[in-house]
Structure 1
């Protein structure tokens, strides 16, 4: 049984503990954000390519990218909205393409509604003392930007929120305007025209928050909730 040869030892794999990091490369939170982060990176890369003159004649989103957009959108619970400051309300109203009558009506709906608290109503039946008032905002204005996330090929969408409707031809730079939102914060985007083919590629942003919509077809309606705090 002679000729015992020494068996070379392989280096033991470096474990997560040995590296001083917790097990698992990604936390559950990180995994949940991964599709959205990857999608944002692809959209940014596409925007850079277009800005360098590599523009395509029409949208060219691969099936894998389309699936990632769909999953990222459905993983969104809501988007934080950027509220129009009180000092900017008149400027925002002027930019909403409203008729004079519609502007006056919306301006009235933006004013706080004063109501008596239930307990003060009961107290008023026995005493004429001043009643505490509760103010509830009927509608709030938020800034919205709609842009084309892929080729600027003539895609057109319509946004609807709290009775306000606006049709937008999408560009790479995007259009920013004010939109009223009600207490449920729901806005809806409808695909109106698929420019040169490949589907309607639209993104919606408010402040630093943004959402990239799935590839839309003409007539398709998708809802997105915006939070106002």
Structure 2
């Protein structure tokens, strides 16, 4: 066998081994939530009226908009929307919500959307603060974008406390009522 053939065969073996390891072996631990825990999460969620989120103060709006990764034209449109305060209407405001993976950090991703804005958030065990506009509906739509295994396990801060939401599947959407 020539050196070139030997190099090609070695390269193919290395590439094949790498593919096999990523295709069949997931290095991240999957969530392990028992059926009893799943039922408790659903029961807790059905009794939950709203989630308390932090409204961004007027003097912090520019810094909060910076965290939203908006292109300049969308940022300007968002700022204009936030500046409108018609009498008798409920204006759109910026709010911060804190989310995390309450079980294993296994690659779960959710899409948070509200008032025409959406962002995908990779859930970590450490809390992540996300800034969103909240309109008169006072709801955040949460959609399962990627399940790292065992269901998407989303924790949300509710004022000073913590709430674990029911397991979410990829593509499943839930509406989360919020207040300030």
What range describes the TM-score normalised by the shorter chain of this pair?
A: 0.7 to 0.9
Gaps in structure 1 of 5+ consecutive residues = 1-55, 115-133
Count of aligned positions = 153
Report Cα offsets for 1:102-130 as digits up to 9, x if no partner: 1100100111434xxxxxxxxxxxxxxxx
* Residues in 2 aligned to 1:206 and 1:92: alpha-carbon distance in whole angstroms: 20
Residue 222 (1) aligns with residue 171 (2): no
CA offset digits 1:9-46 (Å, max 9, x no partner) = xxxxxxxxxxxxxxxxxxxxxxxxxxxxxxxxxxxxxx
CA contact (8 A) 2:51 2:159 kept: no
CA displacement 1:116-156 (0-9 Å, x = unmatched): xxxxxxxxxxxxxxxxxx36452011111121010000001
Matched, 1:191 2:163: no
Give the aligned partner of residue 76 of structure 2. 104
Matches within 5 A, 1:163-202: 163-195=116-148, 197-202=149-154
Indicate the structure (1 or 2) with the bigger Cα radius of gyration. 1
Contact 1:79/1:209, CA 8 A, preserved across alignment: no
Give me the TM-score of the superposition, normalised by structure 1.
0.63
Q: Which moved more, 1:208-217 or 1:57-66?
A: 208-217
Task: Please tell me the root mean square deviation across aligned C-alpha atoms, in Å.
Answer: 1.6
Alignment of 1:142-161 (within 5 A): 142-161=95-114
> Structure 1 CA distance, aligned partners of 2:81 and 2:90?
8
What TM-score does the superposition give when structure 2 sets the normalisation length?
0.79
Higher relative contact order (CA 8 A, sep 6+): 2
